[in-house]
Amino acid sequence: MINGQQIDDAVLNGEFASIKSYFESLGNVSCCERDPEFRGYARQNIIARVLLSQEAQRALPPVPEGEVEAALDKLKEENGGEQRFLAMLGAAPEQLDLVRRDLEADLRVRRLVERLSDGDADPTDADLRRFYDEHLDYFKTAEEVRASHILKSARGEKRHEAYDELRNLRKRLQAGENFEDLARKHSDKGEEHIDLGFFKRGELAEEFEIVAFSLDVGEISPVFATPFGYHLITVTERKPATPKPFEEVREQVRELVVAERRQEKTRKLVEELQARATIEDVEEEPVSA
């Protein structure tokens, strides 16, 4: 209960699942050892959102219907139309008024957060430079590699033959034979598909990229599989990630500095609201027969 407003367990469980899924995607959590920590994050996130929503309802007038409708139309368009949008939410057409209500509340919170920065001076060049220097990783070009590959796309019983053929080719390559020559003779892809050119992470099959970005220039990979078949690859060139010039990313830096300041003010507002709030953990009342 947050200032008398009851928060269903389903809301907390949904937030917990989202947080856990995020950390699992980073590969730094398994099973349940951090569940209590994630449930704590979920509880605090929900408290912050509810307190901000309550404050926005108290301090700001309703968002005009036309703006709510325009925002709803934009969401429908971004999600492939009304039917897909509702399916994503798990809502029926007759629940659109509830969606509008929730959207209006979200828009009002955004205005509350934006208003926190009203009157702030623009970041100075010194502020921007300092942020740029302290967060260089934000402004680096993507690392790229250039690779050539040999593909065997056999299915069924021939998979073993294809695997063994690539193992033998790997031995020949390690003995000094030319990769391009063997690829032209043995790859199931045409000559124009042997040299893949430069690519960044996220552009090719994940299994392929994991191997490619782990290789040194000239190194021959082990035989590995992707949905397309078995592969042997070699990296022929690398372009390391390098910082973009400050002037090129100045506007991006400014947006991040403004967002960071706004985030800090929002955090302080939540702390003030929470200090005054009545927050209780209550047992759900049993349903009568």
Does the residue 246 lie in any domain? no
Which CATH number fits the domain that encloses residue 211?
3.10.50.40
Same domain, 228 and 255: no
Same domain, 157 and 233: yes
Same domain, 117 and 149: no
Same domain, 225 and 204: yes
Does the residue 133 lie in any domain? no
Question: Does pLDDT of 136 surpass 80?
Answer: yes
Does the residue 82 lie in any domain? yes
Cross-strand bridge partners of residue 232: 150
The span from the first CA to the last CA of the chain, in angstroms, equals 25
The Cα 171–Cα 222 span in angstroms is: 10
Here the tokens at position 227 are 């949905």
Does the residue 89 lie in any domain? yes
pLDDT band at residue 247 under the 50/70/90 scheme: very high
pLDDT band at residue 157 under the 50/70/90 scheme: confident
Please compute the mean of the pLDDT values over residues 201-230 and round it to a whole number. Answer: 94
Does the residue 214 lie in any domain? yes
Residue 151: count of CB within 10 angstroms of its CB: 20
Does the residue 165 lie in any domain? yes
- Cβ atoms of residues 211 and 224 within 8 Å: yes
The Cα 198–Cα 147 span in angstroms is: 7
Range of the domain at 235: 144-239
> Would you state the pLDDT for residue 288?
54
**Looking at the 3D structure of the chain, how many domains does it have?**
2
Same domain, 117 and 15: yes
